[in-house]
Amino acid sequence: MSLTVAPPAERGTLTRGPEDLSPWSRALRDDVAAHATAYDERLLLVAESFRATADEPQRELRWAHSVETVLRRCPVRVRVGERLVGWHPNCQSDEATRASLQEARAYLHSQQYWCAASEGHLALDYPAILQRGLDDYRREIEQRAGEAGDEAQRVFLAAARQALVALQGYIGRYAELTATLAAEELDPDWRAELQQIAAICRQVVGGPARTWREALQLAWFCLLGVCLEESEIHHCFGLGRLDQWLLPYVVADRTARRLDEAELDDLLDQMQIKCNEFSGRSMSAVIMGVAGRRPDGSSGYNELSHRLLYSSCRVRMYFPGLDIFWHRDLPADFVRDACTLLRNGNGQPSFFNDDLIIAGLRRYGLPYEHAVDHLPSTCTETSIQGRSNPWVAWPYLNLPLALLGALYGGVRPDDGQPVGPATTLPQTYDELLAAFDVQLKHQADEAVRRGNRDQAVAAEARPFPLLSCFIQGCLQQGRNISHGGATYTFLQPEAVGVSNCVDSLAAIRTLVVDRQRYSLDDFRAALTANWEGHEALRRAVQRDCPKYGNDDAWVNDLFAWVAGRWCDHLEGQRNHFGGPVFPGFLGWTVWIQFGQQTPATPDGRAAGEPLANSLAPASGVKLRGVPSMLLSASGLDHARGLGGITFNVRFNGASLAEPGGPERLAAIVGTALGELGLYMTQIEIASTATLRAAQERPADYADLYVRIGGYLVPFTLLGPAAQNEVIGRAELAL
């Protein structure tokens, strides 16, 4: 059933934006936008705690003490009109504080507080948290501690209890603060609200959620707690499948005739606003997913799925990222409204192929009822809500460098340094393919080796006792999430620059094999010289050779071979904790950095230029249109790419604003995901003229967001090379 909503106040949009927020929420939005920063002073508390426990031999207990210190002493605050409480502190440091922070960081480095690790990027087990309440978790910990069979389990459970009790104390601080503020408040409306908030906090400090407001408040406190445990910002934790875990409480309150519909919308707005108070504008993400499937296979779409679209349109802030878990059974008006939401220019939402991702997870033995709770970890990598430690994007691998290694016998063309195993200098196209496959396998094996090494190091250095309470498997096994305690621990290496490899191989086959105009030695000479003195060959590559993205059958097959061989070399391997390794193709912003480090490549790219981003065609490639672009990617079984795939499609904003634009875009999404089997698609609505103007006048375009590596980033925060790569993407019409 679709949600009945008021007609949009602005033609072609769902809402009028922040103008439609309540006065309280509008004021909260303004405050967050003006003052949100990272909570750097947290490090002062952590360093103090680590010094106080310097003689404690158990790392987990030292960590638990630091969590307790942070939650007991971090500032608490409630702003007028803030109905969802729990403030992530911001940092406005003076010179003395900055000096203290520098000293704290140096000390924590000496304690190996940080290490190379993939952390966060997941969602808690919100359904269980809300149903059980924190006291029930504490009782389970105490019972398991009494039954623990070894010292490691006892240490873990002691640390978990200390951190959990600290979270309860933190919630209690808000119960006391709101009660005190209520006693002093003169405005009767705000006083009554504060009294209600105080009662909610007193309930959720230990008990389960009984109403939708208690559910939302408890979930927020737990999210905030694990963020404060791990870092000074949000650490890419997310809200999970909010429309699923909150719905039962909304339905129960409506049945009991105690649901205020306007209050529900207002609190959903404030929740989305508060996702932005972890830091200022940055290149990161907090994710919320809606719709998808339920454990019984039915559609998970519900009224909250739709309400959250409208809330996102009212709030119009950077976070949270909104991901639609698309399947064929979604109501047409919901998909249309999701496409309409893109008209406001904030880049929300993205669309994920729910049934395909579920099927991919089932191949690894996950039961259906777990697979349906998949989430993009931050960009597009895979996690399971409340059950996984995803180890996303770990590590990134440079595939064009592997191709150069194959072309040059295992070394770089610029300095002769090894990039992989020594292979025979190829003289034919077939020899090049064979050598490239050897280099690909080396890259894949190296990725797993590095990932396993880093997982082992992180297990010793970075335990998270509070987070472990809320991830299934940890308490049951008596093991920290960093020690492999989660039900599922993944490792997700990412191949960067696939499209560059495909276009490079296509150019070599066309000019060396099919037309016999050049030799591999000619290509080697041109690349060594960074194309200088070889302009004719470069023009031939750029003008006369087919490119991935235009539905040339043999180029499509070449793409499927390159991407498929990456998957072949990773599938079946195991991570440090025995979990699966998911092949991925995510580029985040690494394609820019890798490009700076990569010599010229046979696709016509010069040394230092950015690589291609994930599985979309390389920037600057002239495309025949949307159908050919989508068809080119469909030769790969995208269910193999659970480590993350991004597929950016850029449209001219005017085409979406035309009558029927959202309906046409909804049809394209349905074709891409439902007919062609793409993993996901994300839509960018920004004209070249707008992007050029933002380069010239960045202050006027602070809220212009573009899609990079699976999530939104402020365009003006990108460097010139990245901005030009976005501008170079083909601008298509609907």
> For position 389, what pLDDT does the model report?
98
- Mark residue 608 as left, alpha or beta (left: phi above 0; alpha: psi -120 to 50; beta: remaining): left
Mean pLDDT to the nearest integer, 86-99: 92
pLDDT at 639 over 80: yes
> For position 4, what pLDDT does the model report?
40
- Mark residue 379 as left, alpha or beta (left: phi above 0; alpha: psi -120 to 50; beta: remaining): alpha
> For position 38, what pLDDT does the model report?
95
Mean pLDDT to the nearest integer, 610-639: 92
Q: What is the mean pLDDT of the chain?
A: 94
pTM of this prediction exceeds 0.85: yes
Across-strand partners of 507?
none
Helices 134-147 and 151-184: crossing angle in degrees, nearest 10, is 160
pLDDT at 345 over 80: no
* Residue 685: pLDDT band with limits 50, 70, 90: confident
Q: Residue written as tokens 């880093």?
A: 454
Q: Tell me phi and psi for residue 349, to 5 degrees.
A: -105, -175
pLDDT at 339 over 50: yes
Q: Tell me phi and psi for residue 488, to 5 degrees.
A: -130, 130
The rounded distance, in Å, linking the Cα atoms of 338 and 345 is: 13
> For position 5, what pLDDT does the model report?
38
At 353-393, the pLDDT tens digits run 999 999 999 999 999 999 999 999 888 999 999 999 999 99
Mean pLDDT to the nearest integer, 276-283: 84
Which residues have CB under 8 Å from 592's CB, separation 6+?
610, 611, 719, 721, 722, 725
Burial of 31 per CB tally in 10 Å (0-12, 13-18, 19+) = middle
DSSP string, 33-46: HHH----TTHHHHH
> For position 2, what pLDDT does the model report?
37
Tokens standing for residue 125: 């087990």
The rounded distance, in Å, linking the Cα atoms of 88 and 440 is: 44
At 211-255, the pLDDT tens digits run 999 999 999 999 999 999 999 999 999 999 999 999 999 999 999
**47, 107 contact by CB (below 8 A):** yes
> For position 422, what pLDDT does the model report?
97
pLDDT at 152 over 60: yes
> For position 8, what pLDDT does the model report?
42
pLDDT at 272 over 50: yes
> For position 74, what pLDDT does the model report?
98
Which residues have CB under 8 Å from 52's CB, separation 6+?
65
pLDDT at 591 over 70: yes
Distance, CA of 662 to chain centre: 25
3-class SS of residue 323: strand
* Residue 3: pLDDT band with limits 50, 70, 90: very low
pLDDT at 662 over 90: yes
> For position 207, what pLDDT does the model report?
98
At 573-583, the pLDDT tens digits run 999 999 999 99
At 310-327, the pLDDT tens digits run 999 999 999 999 999 999
Which residues have CB under 8 Å from 296's CB, separation 6+?
none
Mean pLDDT to the nearest integer, 529-538: 98
For residue 349, whether the previous peptide bond is cis, meaning omega lies within 30 degrees of 0, is yes
Mean pLDDT to the nearest integer, 55-74: 98
pLDDT at 491 over 90: yes
Mean pLDDT to the nearest integer, 100-118: 96
pLDDT at 621 over 80: yes
pLDDT at 704 over 90: no
* Residue 12: pLDDT band with limits 50, 70, 90: low
The rounded distance, in Å, linking the Cα atoms of 206 and 475 is: 18
Mean pLDDT to the nearest integer, 45-57: 98
> For position 58, what pLDDT does the model report?
97
Distance, CA of 384 to chain centre: 13
The rounded distance, in Å, linking the Cα atoms of 660 and 666 is: 10
